[in-house]
Structures are given as C-alpha cells and as structure tokens.
Amino acid sequence: MKVGYSRVSTNEQDVSSQRAFLIAAGVDEERIYTDVGFTGRNLQRAGLHQALAAVRHGDTLVVPKMDRLARNVEDTLHIVRDLTERGVIFQMGHTVYDPRDPWSKLFLTFLAAIAEAEGGWISLRTQEAMARPSVRKKLKGRQPAIPPETDAAIAKLLDEGDRLDEGDQSAAEVARVFRISRSGVYRAAARHRIRLGGG
C-alpha cells in the first residue's frame, strides 16, 4: 500500500498540484494526508503524524519533494531511519530510497541539506519583511507546541488502540510516532476531550 503526504506553509497556497503528483504516483486519494499552514521545521503536524502512523511493514510513504517532509537534515534522517527500521519504503518524488545503498543515503542527505538551506533563506527573507510595519500587522501568532489537530489525531489513535484492547501498548506506539512521552499522549487526548466538551 502507498501512503502520500503533502504540505503547504500557508493557507493561501494550493496543495492540489502535490495531491495530483501523489495520485499519479499510485497513491489512493483517501490515503493522502495533508498539512496546511505549517512550516517544514515544525514536526508537530497532524497530517504528518497520521501518515507515519498509517504505514506498516511493506508499505511505501511517498512525498512529492523532500522539503515537504521536513526542512532539517536531522529530522529528515530521523524520520527516514524510523521508517526503514519499521520496514517501510520511502519515496521522494520518483526516487525510491534504498537504505542499503551508500549513494542513495548520500543523495538523501544532500537533498535534506538543500531543503534546510532553503528554509534558512526563507527565514532571512521573512525577517527582512518583518522589519516593515505593514507586514508585522499581518503576522499571525505562533502555533502552539501541539496544535488541536494533533491532539485530535493522537486521541483518535489512542481510542482505536483501546477498542482493540491494546491499552498501554497503543499509547507507547502513539508516543513513539509523535515523538512525545506516553504521559504527553494522555494529556493530548484529555485536551481533545475537553475541547469536545467531554471533560
């Protein structure tokens, strides 16, 4: 099974071209997870975590471009290493990553470094723009460390584990996927229940 992931940094950007690429790459439209309004530096993205949680051994995670996954070499390599250890194939664009090939790993690292550098240049341009008062007025506040969408995704996965009677095992798996503590998993689920008015 192929699972796709797409991301755009602002609500004004269009994700349709990325979705079209993923569908053309063989990903079922219902298995495409998307984040809108998140930078690649922020790993607390509901769509990303849902995509990572959806793939199993033998599946393939497909991203249109490296910078859609992350804009940090360390984060990129961590995600790909985790996928490899789980037996999940990673595909960026039309290229399938082969963890046994040193050249493939070098290419992956090279692309991740380019994505990180591009992120740095974007940050510099943003800082220059922020110096203009008219731009500062339009800036939105920072996203919380764990946004409500991620809380909802965590709560959903935790509930699915409870229905399967996996209990603590499910919580540990969710914690690993979202890179938070097990207690953080339960806190996120509790926040989601409060938002829904369920105490």
Domain spans of the chain, in order of start: 2-108, 148-195
- Which CATH fold would you assign to the domain 2-108? Rossmann fold (3.40.50)
165: left (phi over 0), alpha (psi -120 to 50) or beta: left
- Please identify every stretch of the chain with a pLDDT value under 50, giving residue numbers as ranges: 142-143
pLDDT of the residue at 32: 96
For residue 97, give the DSSP letter: P
Q: Is 157 exposed, middle or buried (0-12, 13-18, 19+ CB in 10 A)?
A: buried
pLDDT of the residue at 151: 85
Contact 35, 83 (CB under 8 A): no
pLDDT of the residue at 83: 93
pLDDT of the residue at 125: 60
pLDDT of the residue at 144: 53
Choose the catalytic residue: 6, 9, 16, 134: 9
Q: What is the pTM (predicted TM-score) of this model?
A: 0.56
The amino acid occupying position 30 is E
17 is catalytic: no
